[in-house]
Amino acid sequence: MSPPHDVDLAGLHQHLHAPPGQTAPGSGPGERPLRIGIGGPVGSGKTTLVGALCTLLRDRYSVVVVTNDIFTSEDAQALRAAAVLPEDRIAAVETGCCPHTAIRDDIAANLDAVERLERAHDPVDITLVESGGDNLTAIFSRGLVDQQVFVIDTAGGDDVPRKGGPGVALADLLVINKTDLAPYVGADVERMCTDAADRRSGRPVLPISIVDADGAADVAEWVEASVHSWRAGTAP
Amino acid sequence: MNPSVLLLADGRFPAGGHAYSAGVESAVDVGDVRDLASLERYLDGRLAIGVVEAAFAVAAVRANAAQIDLLDAEFEARVLSPRLRTVSRQLGRQLARAAVAVWPDAALSRLAASHDGPHQPVALGVAVGVCGGSPADAASISLHHLAAAACTAGVRLLGLDPLAVAGVQARALARHLPSVDDVAEWSTSTPSRLPAHGGTLTELLGERHGEWDARLFLA
């Protein structure tokens, strides 16, 4: 599967005409690929979501992925095995047993991997950075990503949105995954959504179930909208 | 003390060192490191080799651009394992980028912009110089980071008592800090005459670690 080459380059490269007086070239909104972090607890479905997003977006956008799973090559292999992206569009980063450090306190290795992938596959539209499974206090540094998605799931306990934490409260998009399992684990999806909304000052919450790639269609739509805002320079 | 040099010495300085175990992950795998005593023994061996890295950091502190390139080539020749060369350049690249973001400087910019990046000791030495640190500072910081990387990995991988490990780290570092005479010699030495004693087992384990299917640490 090769990246798309028939995309609207005029639209893609409007960043070249970005207004003067902004930050250094190639670093501000719209001037480089949109970087999106995908975080969340172990087993909530981050890798599955990344795989589904690649499947849904790869024909229209040039996508690269950096993965940080604790066993670093495992996520990359899962993505490769599913053939969602060519192997050279995926890079794995070691996190020294501390996945949250690698996405928040010391982003050096992730930034290095992101920049190398973006340079090797220029032009890239979307860079996905998947964190290793972590706890509810993990959050991506703004120095690493422009937007972040926090993925929790019904089987992880429906009190997670009520407990809050930076991921639940501050992520640009909160995904509540595995809604299909809710009846089996006694989880109340509606309450999860209400509790989450209470903590998120109007930022979006999407309940989904990725039994196939189409289950991530709503998230893909959010990603596309984010790309458009990013290019237009209206992203936060 | 110079606050910039303190920042460079801090393990929390965001240059990616937290994911480097100085070979401890593979040493744990083969059973060479399994408790406090074996960690201390490993540290003695690793710091003895680490003198090479310290010497190159010292030599880079006041080097000009041509000398920096020569030091980089000489250090490359001292690392047998292609994997460990790659790791050293990744760490050097990350350090140069973090440092130039804090202390804008032409020499650091050049290193940060180079394609594969400089070797870690070269980047460290240049950064110490830019911060106004001395060659002795460069030696101490180089060996301190090496010892800290190994000790932190011991805590994380084996669940060793961090208080006891801190003691191991302090004792081992005290045993291996170079003398004033060594530092003076390295800072004026021709690069080809800098120390060149490698550790065969470290290189072999490092190379093998690079082939692991799953790693927690960079090396």
Distance (Å, whole) CA B65 – CA B62? 10
pTM, two decimal places: 0.88
Q: What is the pLDDT of residue A133?
A: 85
Question: B41: phi > 0 → left, psi -120 to 50 → alpha, else beta; which?
Answer: alpha
Does A107 lie at the interface with B, CB-CB under 8 angstroms? yes
CA diameter of chain B: 46
Does B176 lie at the interface with A, CB-CB under 8 angstroms? no
User: Who among A72, A102, A107 is closest to B215 (CB)?
Assistant: A72
User: Who among B12, B14, B215 is closest to A94 (CB)?
Assistant: B215
* Residue listed under structure tokens 């190159």: B56
pLDDT in single tens digits along all 219 residues of chain B: 899 999 999 999 999 999 999 999 999 999 999 999 999 999 999 999 999 999 999 999 999 999 999 999 999 999 999 999 999 999 999 999 999 999 999 999 999 999 999 999 999 999 999 999 999 999 999 999 999 999 999 999 999 999 999 999 999 999 999 999 999 999 999 999 999 988 999 999 999 999 988 889 999
User: Residue A189 — very low, low, confident or very high, per pLDDT cuts 50/70/90?
Assistant: very high
Does A27 lie at the interface with B, CB-CB under 8 angstroms? no
Residue type, B91: L
The lowest-confidence range among A7-16, A154-163, A178-187 is: A7-16
Which residue, among B217, B149, B157, has the nearest Cα to A94 in the 3D structure?
A: B217
- In DSSP terms, A206 is beta-bridged to A175
CA distance B81 to chain A (A): 19
Chain B nearest-CA residue for A104: B14
Q: Is A24 exposed, middle or buried (0-12, 13-18, 19+ CB in 10 A)?
A: exposed
Residue type, B96: A
Instruction: Please name the residues in contact with A235: beta carbons below 8 A apart, sequence gap of 6 or more.
Output: A29, A30, A34, A146, A147, A226, A229
Which residue, among A12, A88, A87, A90, has the nearest Cα to A50 in the 3D structure?
A: A90
Does A101 lie at the interface with B, CB-CB under 8 angstroms? yes
Look at B153 and A71 and tell me if their CB atoms are within 8 Å: no
Is the distance from CB of B56 to CB of B194 less than 8 angstroms? yes
Q: What is the pLDDT of residue B89?
A: 98
- In DSSP terms, A129 is beta-bridged to A37, A66
Strands (DSSP E) found in chain A: 34-39, 63-67, 90-92, 126-130, 147-153, 173-177, 205-207
Q: Which residues of B touch A102 (CB under 8 A)?
A: 18-19
